Amino acid sequence: LRGDGQMYVAVGTEQGQVLVLDARGRKHWSFQCAGPIRGSVALADVNDDNEREIIAGCSDGFLYILTHDGRLMHRFDANSPIESTPAVWEDKIIFGCNDGMIYCINVNGDVLWTFASKGKILARPLIARVQEGDRRNVLVGSKDNSLYALDLHGNLEWRYETQGAIMNEPVLTRVGRDREAIIVLGSCDNKVHAVSGRGDRLWTYEADFWVVASPAIVDLDGDGKLEVLAGSYDHNLYILDCEGEYVLEYMPGISGVVHQAGHYAEVLTREAGRQVGKRLFQMRMPGVVIGCSQIRKGAALLATKSGQLVAVGFAEQER
């Protein structure tokens, strides 16, 4: 928190406390808010004082900005419960609210811009380069079934629609010689979606129930190719090829229409197939998967609703 090399853990609680613990799990300090804190807290130096501030959204409708030692620096009134985790880029704090508003403010609480979605925002915004160049975008999922791509001034660049709520942040990686961006997200339409940096669908893969947790992208088996790890409410972990596969829906050159005497049909001009998610394998988990995160190269950690942590990695067999 102070740049002194000491490690701390900062969490929010259902009782409304921002709690900071030292490396041994002892309470360093706590701050009481007026409602439950259901998102994660953010740690960032947003005022260039070489000390990290603690930023927490609260169900009381306020965003709290605290100093490294637990004093209130500012409290921003969003007029709606905040259950998403704030994201920070330079001096900008970006977060969503239950009324569908996305705010960008500075450390003094000045509103830099807003954007109105049509559904509750629970997902943490992702700030990343999604196209060529150094320009960054803000990617935010909403319960209106959409992933929004905004510029850093709050202007909409594109919108990707699914058939279910998006409850968590997307993940982004780059593949191929051209290092094209692939954005991967889960949705309550039971699907994992892969989207290009321009908002075009690359592929989808359908599970048997909601995909709520953010996927993880890792080279799980060390073969130089990336895999997508997606946990579902169907108690399964799906390991997918990050680039998908092409599947033919009809054989090119063979008409889908049987010609009868005197019958005329338009020439077929649609693509012969489509890119879909390619399942490499799947694993049964001991409960609903609610979290997935890379912990080291070639390994990921999953959390289940029953309170279990499961480490997943590739074990090379001895010959």
Coil, helix or strand at residue 25? coil
Burial of 261 (0-12, 13-18, 19+ CB in 10 A): exposed
Percent of the chain with pLDDT over 70: 85
What global pTM score does this model have? 0.83
What pLDDT does 247 receive? 45
pLDDT tens for 49-86 read: 889 999 999 999 999 999 999 999 999 999 999 999 99
As a three-state string, the secondary structure of 258-297 is CCCCCCCCCCCCCCCEEEEEEEEEEEECCCCEEEEEEEEC
Q: How far apart are CA 111 and CA 119, in angstroms?
A: 21
What pLDDT does 222 receive? 79
Query: Domains along the chain?
Result: 1-88 (2.40.10.480)
Is residue 115 within 8 Å of residue 148, measured between CB atoms? yes
Strand 92-96's sheet: what is its strand order? 87-89, 92-96, 101-105, 111-116
Strand 299-304's sheet: what is its strand order? 289-296, 299-304, 309-313
Is residue 240 within 8 Å of residue 224, measured between CB atoms? no
Structure tokens at 109: 């609480």
Structure tokens at 236: 């399964």
What pLDDT does 315 receive? 57
Could you tell me whether strands 273-284 and 137-141 are parallel, antiparallel, or unpaired per DSSP bridges?
Answer: unpaired
- Cα first-last separation, the chain: 48
* CB-facing half-sphere around the CA of 100: CA atoms within 13 A: 11
Burial of 163 (0-12, 13-18, 19+ CB in 10 A): exposed
Other Cβ atoms closer than 10 A to 294: 15
**φ/ψ (deg, to 5) at 38:** -105, -10
Which residues of the chain carry a pLDDT beneath 70?
Answer: 3, 245-277, 294-298, 314-319
What's the farthest any 2 CA atoms get from each other in the chain?
Answer: 85
